[in-house]
Amino acid sequence: MRRRVAQHHGIRGSAALATQPVSPGTVAAEALEPGEMRRLPFAGELLGAARVRSGFVAIPADAFDEAAPRLAPEGQAAYLQLVRLSYGEGRNWLRATKRELEARLRLTERRLLRALDGLVASGLARPLHRDNRGTLWRVYLPREAAGEPLGEAVLLGKAPLSPGFAPPAAPSGPAPSAVAPGPLVRALAEARGELDAGGLLRAEREVRDLLAEGQPPRRIQAGIEALRRRARPRAEERKP
């Protein structure tokens, strides 16, 4: 039986490079400081600073450094394309057709679906909706997938408050950390008629968010009173 010998495939131009002893001064560009806008000659090329000023996207480094090494090659490619189309466009979601992703990744439908399923299993992506425009994907950064907060490196859009409750606007300022939100929480829950555990929990979350944004308690109370006044006529209409 003839043994199959693996064929070596080298890198073009690499065979001419002999491994040299370590000498940090050989390539002068390696000694440039970060941000130093210079290029220095080496091997017929100019090596040095290159600053992208337009046509770029903001993608967190841990998408490359943390997530990609844990994925198979096709999973890496699929994840980075999803991140490019979501966070690269300033949002944590994207909508794309299979045909679009197949073209970007140069994968067959079967291989694409296997790669996407691997991302879902890893907690890095989740399909939410599908129509003729394609599938709506929620994309998770590595920290989110691990159940950790994103920290200050990624700014998230503000979550909406419950319908019908919008306290008057207030100038931004430091949060009144010493304020106990208990009475405001109960007042908001009463104004909504939601004194069960779920209603109290929702009210507490919203009140704490408003205090953290710098809203004074008196403004939150004014918003609650306005909600109470709007709710009173509706309650009277429902009486027999």
Question: Is 209 inside any structural domain?
Answer: yes
Q: Are 32 and 41 in contact (CB under 8 A)?
A: no
Residue 38 forms part of a structural domain: no
Q: Residue 44 falls within a domain, yes or no?
A: no
Residues 80 and 140 in one domain: yes
CATH code, domain carrying 103? 1.10.10.10
CA angle at 203 for the pair 200 and 209, rounded to the nearest 5°: 140
For residue 77, give every residue at least 6 positions away whose Cβ sits within 8 Å of its Cβ, in sequence order, or none: 105, 107, 115
Find the domain containing 94 and state its range.
62-145
Q: Could you tell me if 76 and 122 lie in one domain?
A: yes
Please report, rounded to a whole number, the percentage of residues in the chain having pLDDT higher than 90: 41
Write the pLDDT tens digit of every residue in 130-145.
999 999 999 999 988 8
Region 199-219 average pLDDT:
78
pLDDT digits (tens, 9 = 90+) for 86-144: 999 999 999 999 999 999 999 999 999 999 999 999 999 999 999 999 999 999 999 88
User: How many distinct structural domains can be found in the chain?
Assistant: 2
Does 238 or 150 have the greater pLDDT score?
150
Q: Which of 65-69, 176-180, 225-229, 234-238 has the lowest mean pLDDT?
A: 176-180
Is the same domain home to 184 and 230? Answer: yes
Does 150 reside within a domain? no
